[in-house]
Amino acid sequence: MELRFTIAKKINRPAQKAKGTGLSTLRAEEGSPASMIITSSEGRAGFDRIRESVYGLPAAGESAVHGRLRGSSYELYGALPALAEFAKGISFNSEDAKDAAEFIALMCGGGFPEMKITSVKLEKSSMEVGILYSSDAATSAEEVYAALSGVCEKYGLGIIKQPEAQEPASAEFQDH
């Protein structure tokens, strides 16, 4: 069985003038490197801590994360699993952003081996994670969704069900 669906979350904005690291975006499409843009209320000192963490990671391979300072934000690039694991360790100034990063890292880390992330769109106000469930087992869509219910509850997520593919109805034309 193959099933596609989206897991979504509303991201509440951090308190006005909240200190710390802010998550602006995290984007990924299947087959392309992921990118993340963060901001810091601590200015250069906050980015220096992030940069030191990036330098501590491998420079090549699947676990490589690269970054660069660009104006008032820091851009990070790498394979989604590596970037998600890195983001999970950042103290974001929004609990929702932290939860979203932890969930993405869980999905990338094999928390649900039959499920694969196909896309991520995490912005200041919302998160959408495209999921592909693939298994030879005779499982219904409702059983797949039920398996995620505990994780969805823990992180305040919702499941957007995709309409199942249906055979096109045969059209019969009659001449009147």
Q: How confident is the model at residue 69 (pLDDT cuts 50, 70, 90)?
A: confident
Is a pLDDT exceeding 80 seen at residue 172? no
Q: Is 171 left (phi over 0), alpha (psi -120 to 50) or beta?
A: beta
Q: How confident is the model at residue 58 (pLDDT cuts 50, 70, 90)?
A: low
What are the pLDDT digits (tens) for 115-140? 999 999 999 899 999 999 999 888 89
Structure tokens at 138: 């005779």
Cα(first)–Cα(last) distance of the chain, in Å?
43
Between 31 and 141, name the one with better pLDDT: 141
Q: How confident is the model at residue 164 (pLDDT cuts 50, 70, 90)?
A: low
Q: What is the chain's mean pLDDT, rounded? A: 85
**Residue 129: per-residue pLDDT:** 97
**Residue 60: per-residue pLDDT:** 65
Nearest 5 degrees, angle CA 4-CA 10-CA 11?
125
Q: Is 96 exposed, middle or buried (0-12, 13-18, 19+ CB in 10 A)?
A: buried
**Residue 100: per-residue pLDDT:** 93
Q: How confident is the model at residue 35 (pLDDT cuts 50, 70, 90)?
A: very high
pTM (two decimals): 0.83
The answer to whether 14 and 22 have CB atoms below 8 angstroms apart is yes
Q: Please name the residue that has the structure tokens 């994780």.
A: 151
Walk across the sheet containing 65-70 and list its strands. Answer: 65-70, 73-78, 34-40, 21-29, 115-123, 126-134, 2-10, 158-161
Is a pLDDT exceeding 80 seen at residue 157? yes
**Residue 165: per-residue pLDDT:** 54
